[in-house]
Structure 1
Amino acid sequence: MLDQIISRLGLALAGAALMAISVTTARAEVTLDVLYTTPGTFNALHQELARRFTEANPEIKVKFRNPAASYEEAAQQILRDQITGRLPDVAFNGINQIGLFVDRGLGAPLDGFVARDGGLAELGYYPTLAELGKHKGKLYGLPFAVSTPVLYVNADLLAKAGSDVSALPKTWPELLALGKNVEVKAGTGTTGLYYQWEQTGNWLFQSLVTSKGGRILKPDGCSIAFDDANGMWALKTLEGFGKSGMPNLGLGQARQSFVAGNIAILADSTSYVAAAERQIGGRFQFKTVAFPLAATEGRLPAGGNVAMVFSKDAERQRAAWQYVKFVTGPVGQTAMVNLTGYMPGNEIAVKTPDLLGAFYAKAPNHVTSIQQLPVLTEWTSFPGDNSLKIIEVIKHHVEGLVTGKRTAEQVMPEVVRDVSSLLPKCGG
């Protein structure tokens, strides 16, 4: 599939590839050890990008580890690798995990490499997205596949309820009411609205908080900030989903139900857009719509993953940089977008007609993510040794809300207590 996509880009893409890759001086052959996640989404893409990179850089080979199922699983593996001394040279990690690694002395700063190749602007990275790869003032990751939360809409089901995408409500209570109307009109087996609450454990919880103008952590980085009116609003919204009778589905279950035509409105990551379009195959009208902002100062956490260099050897770092620069550059990002629904981190790719310019002109469902670029903010990383455990704690509490077992008033003090107890003490 990906071979066909890239072949259609033609000679212009091949020429761009040669310009995008800096030719390294002759050195001994290096084989990079690379780890990525989510094989169902990324297997074909990474294999193809590695093949194309090696063709242009024959002195650098790429060997993939068995991919991790999730960002959290990959993070656990890398932390184990630090103990055994078997770190990958390059890894594709969740944007929210940069701090987790850097605070443990992992990850090579990329500032020097970027400067030697002309700077972030010259290389084409969106400033907003490149900023997400920084930690404590240094650049450690470059955007490979960035996602934003959006609404997936089955326009045919909306029509049965006398509505259409252009008139879609802008608030969650109104969306829930529309969903219930769809369920009445469409009949048994239809879900009016489904919110992918469990995605990466806390991303769509964070999305609600920041869409209201709230924060997850205070500026000190180690104190809870969602124990306020914005956080309570987010918890009550999740409680509302549970009270509406929304089923509790797994991530894959919900997506398969949507493409089967059984969910009218699905709140999900843009990462699934391309796959959804292929699986729907025109059986119903599928549209994406921007995620609702509940306040004028509302923002959305940028999801997805960045490419990081973990090599400690200088020669391997140089080779790893060449690979990172390629996969996050115009050609790598063009292939990535064509296969997935993720947002590219490289503006050159988007503005070049022979790369992604023509693609976006014909792919409105993918444009929604690009349009949300001005409101993107950080996907908060929890500091300290309990970073990954905190994600699981939040997921547990949110599940109590969306299953109707708990109320927001019950959950707020408990989630604040549990997360706070796992955070490091400021200055300690």
Structure 2
Amino acid sequence: MVRIFLLLLVLAAWARAQIALPLWHTLGEGGVLEGEAQAFNQAQSRYRIEPRFVGDYREMGVLLAAALRNGTAPPLAQVELGFLPVLVKEGLVQPLPSPQIPDLDPALLRLGEVKGRLYGYPLGISVAVLFYNQDALRARRLTPPRDFAQLKAVAQKLSTRAAKGLLFSADVYSFATLVLAQGGALSQGGAPALDGESALKALEFLQSIDREGALQVRSATELISAGADFLRTKAFLAMGPSSLLPAVKSRTQLPFTIGIAPLPLEAQGKVAASGSVLVALRHASTEERRGLEAFYRHMAEAQRQLTLAQGVYYLPLSLKAQEAWGKEEVGRLLLSQKARLAPWHQDSPLLLWAPPLEEALERALKGQVPAKKALEEAQTRALKIP
């Protein structure tokens, strides 16, 4: 009994000696980040990560904005890659030192930069891909499309009176992915270019598929319904981040085999990269930033990165983990896209312009408003956003 009491005293003293590091995240209650935080806390005595799950990316944005206003925000957070330019623009995050980890992929680490400075430590990178109903394509003897002409043709061949070939979610990420894949951009010099040639070309492409009766459109607020459309065979092709499939598999029994193929690209097209990054908010102390760097070194270990990639379909930051992941079919497919990756936010605060852009997409694709008119109105509204 005395030995147990002494052990409890030692553990209590150790816990008090550790520097507490509250960290808000979106990776699930009891999920991988919380498990790794516990392992990190047990492996060393200086820092204690205190993770708190706060919901999905959009919920995180709302809660974090409110907490920063009222002074209750944590010093550290895990956010989606697209939040970085917004946080930097608003002066809400601090630049981070290079983690000095020899095994890290420098190209993927640069995705945590905004205008050449590192503001986020990437945990893993999600790759934009094409999901397809493998059974439907096989029945029609079709193969996944490789460019936009093929995408339109395959969508038309898959369409019936009861189902559409292509599912499109009219949200900022999906549209940015489409624009990048065609070699375009939604910003210029850090300012919105929502009515530019690239955006117009992408939206008119979607409208042309819609006129052929081959497009199923869901608004940005109908993401659950969009997933249901695909699972209920109301559509057979869909674009999205690679990490989406494991998330769906963990919650739903799939009624058919979902295939993954590289995103259809034009000659100058880029593949949209999204994913999770760790950030230090503006009020984080020097010691708290050091704690974040120590936790990142823990998360960047090769075996941890490989396990995360296999579970979430991320590109791992560790080069050793990439070598192992490349021996598996999904890993090989995702790694083949690495050379054409570009951050989906296009080094601009694209999320700030999401409301007018998403409304324009819905009006053009559901309300039959001409693409040029809808995008010009979105651009006018975006330019008024400070």
TM over 0.5: yes
Identify which of 294, 302, 305 aligns with 2:276. Answer: 305
How many angstroms does 1:365 deviate by? 3.2
**Partner secondary structure for residue 64 of structure 1:** strand
The unaligned stretches of length 5 or more in structure 2 are 1-14
How many residues in Structure 1 have an aligned counterpart in Structure 2?
367
Matched residues in 1 for 2:368 and 2:193: separation? 25
Sort the Cα spacing of 1:145 and 1:392 in 2 relative to 1 into closer, same or farther, 3 A: farther
Matched residues in 2 for 1:332 and 1:81: separation? 31
Residue of structure 1 in register with 2:146 after alignment:
170
Sort the Cα spacing of 1:401 and 1:235 in 2 relative to 1 into closer, same or farther, 3 A: same
Deviations 1:235-276 (A, max 9, x none): 112323443353334323333443455532121211112245
Matched residues in 2 for 1:411 and 1:361: separation? 46
Residue of structure 1 in register with 2:64 after alignment:
78
In the alignment, structure 1 residue 109 sits paired with structure 2 residue 95:
yes
In the alignment, structure 1 residue 365 sits paired with structure 2 residue 334:
no
Amino acid at match of 1:76: V
Sort the Cα spacing of 1:170 and 1:346 in 2 relative to 1 into closer, same or farther, 3 A: same
Amino acid at match of 2:290: R
* Matching of residues 342-353 of structure 1 within 5 Å: 342-351=314-323
**Partner secondary structure for residue 356 of structure 2:** helix
Sort the Cα spacing of 1:60 and 1:225 in 2 relative to 1 into closer, same or farther, 3 A: same
Matched residues in 2 for 1:399 and 1:227: separation? 15
Matched residues in 1 for 2:39 and 2:164: separation? 43
CA contact (8 A) 2:22 2:51 kept: yes
Deviations 1:126-147 (A, max 9, x none): 2222112123432111111322
TM-score using structure 2 length: 0.84
In the alignment, structure 1 residue 183 sits paired with structure 2 residue 159:
yes
Matched residues in 2 for 1:304 and 1:340: separation? 10
Amino acid at match of 1:372: Q
**Partner secondary structure for residue 68 of structure 2:** helix
Matched residues in 2 for 1:389 and 1:134: separation? 18
Mean Cα deviation higher: 279-288 or 258-267:
279-288
How many angstroms does 1:215 deviate by? 2.1
Matched residues in 1 for 2:139 and 2:334: separation? 27
How many angstroms does 1:290 deviate by? 0.9
Amino acid at match of 2:207: E
Residue of structure 1 in register with 2:311 after alignment:
339
Deviations 1:286-333 (A, max 9, x none): 321111112x22112311221112252222222222112222442432
Matched residues in 1 for 2:151 and 2:381: separation? 31
Matched residues in 2 for 1:335 and 1:266: separation? 26
Residue of structure 2 in register with 1:16 after alignment:
none
Residue of structure 2 in register with 1:28 after alignment:
17
Q: Which has the higher strand share?
A: 2
* Matching of residues 224-243 of structure 1 within 5 Å: 224-243=192-211
CA contact (8 A) 2:182 2:269 kept: yes
CA RMSD of aligned residues (A): 2.9
In the alignment, structure 1 residue 288 sits paired with structure 2 residue 260:
yes
Sort the Cα spacing of 1:215 and 1:179 in 2 relative to 1 into closer, same or farther, 3 A: closer
Matched residues in 1 for 2:27 and 2:355: separation? 18
Deviations 1:144-172 (A, max 9, x none): 13222211122210122232x3xx33344
* Matching of residues 150-161 of structure 1 within 5 Å: 150-161=129-140
CA contact (8 A) 2:126 2:273 kept: yes
The unaligned stretches of length 5 or more in structure 1 are 1-25, 352-356
**Partner secondary structure for residue 237 of structure 1:** helix
Amino acid at match of 1:92: Q
Identify which of 287, 295, 298 aligns with 1:326. Answer: 298
Sort the Cα spacing of 1:280 and 1:153 in 2 relative to 1 into closer, same or farther, 3 A: farther
Matched residues in 2 for 1:169 and 1:104: separation? 40
Residue of structure 1 in register with 2:364 after alignment:
401
Residue of structure 1 in register with 2:40 after alignment:
53
Matched residues in 2 for 1:404 and 1:158: separation? 30
Paired-residue identity, %? 21
How many angstroms does 1:279 deviate by? 6.7
How many angstroms does 1:33 deviate by? 0.6
Matched residues in 2 for 1:411 and 1:305: separation? 32
Matched residues in 2 for 1:306 and 1:297: separation? 27
**Partner secondary structure for residue 125 of structure 2:** strand
Matched residues in 2 for 1:260 and 1:365: separation? 24
Sort the Cα spacing of 1:29 and 1:74 in 2 relative to 1 into closer, same or farther, 3 A: same
CA contact (8 A) 2:193 2:379 kept: no
CA contact (8 A) 1:54 1:61 kept: yes
In the alignment, structure 1 residue 194 sits paired with structure 2 residue 160:
no
How many angstroms does 1:60 deviate by? 2.7
Matched residues in 2 for 1:279 and 1:81: separation? 31
